Copies of this chain bind each other. A is one copy, B any other.
Amino acid sequence: MNNVEQRLYQLGITLPAAPAPIAAYRPWVIAGDLLFISGQLPMADGSLRFTGKVGRDIDADQGKEAARISAINGLAQAKAALGSLDRIIQCVKLTGFVNSASGFTAQPAVLNGASELLADVLGEAGRHARAAVGVSELPLDAAVEIEFIFQVSV
């Protein structure tokens, strides 16, 4: 068991099978030493765990959990891409889209569910640049969607 997977084990996190794209694209592409991961939804066991608008259908804490699950799916994609998560040098950038009720402006708190998970699992290498925005609709009415850029050893 390598270092990052040991850390996942300590945290009690089991990486799922990497979710398949829900349309005609790839879950990840590597260009040079950058790994681009497609927008991840809060899928677990093949279905969406959190749907609807944060601030109306679910609250910010549930949104944060949705972001955490999306980040776990991002790590699952990274493992599929890299073989070993120990090849991650740095989580570079995360863009988080929060399905937001009118007047809901706590997107940063929601996205912290992903950011804190990545820092917990990867340590300093998990601390990334980020943009968080609120959008009016997401695929399948998902509560959040998060995309990732990692720098990796090649």
Contacts and interface: CB of A to CB of B under 8 A. Distances in A.
Interface of A: 21-29, 31-34, 36-39, 89-95, 97-98, 100-109, 111-112, 115-116, 119, 127-141, 145, 147, 149, 151
A139 B38 contact: no
Given A25-B129, A36-B149, 20 more contacts: A21-B130, A23-B111, A25-B115, A26-B127, A29-B92, A29-B93, A29-B128, A29-B129, A31-B89, A31-B149, A36-B93, A39-B130, A95-B131, A97-B131, A107-B138, A107-B139, A129-B147, A132-B139, A132-B145, A134-B139
A109 to B, nearest CB: 7
20 contacts: A21-B130, A23-B111, A24-B115, A29-B90, A29-B127, A31-B90, A31-B149, A32-B151, A36-B129, A38-B130, A95-B131, A97-B131, A98-B137, A101-B137, A102-B137, A105-B141, A108-B139, A133-B135, A133-B139, A134-B136
Contacts of A135: 133-137
Contacts of A129: 25-29, 36-38, 147
Contact of A137 (B26, B38, B104): B104
Contacts of A36: 92-93, 129, 149
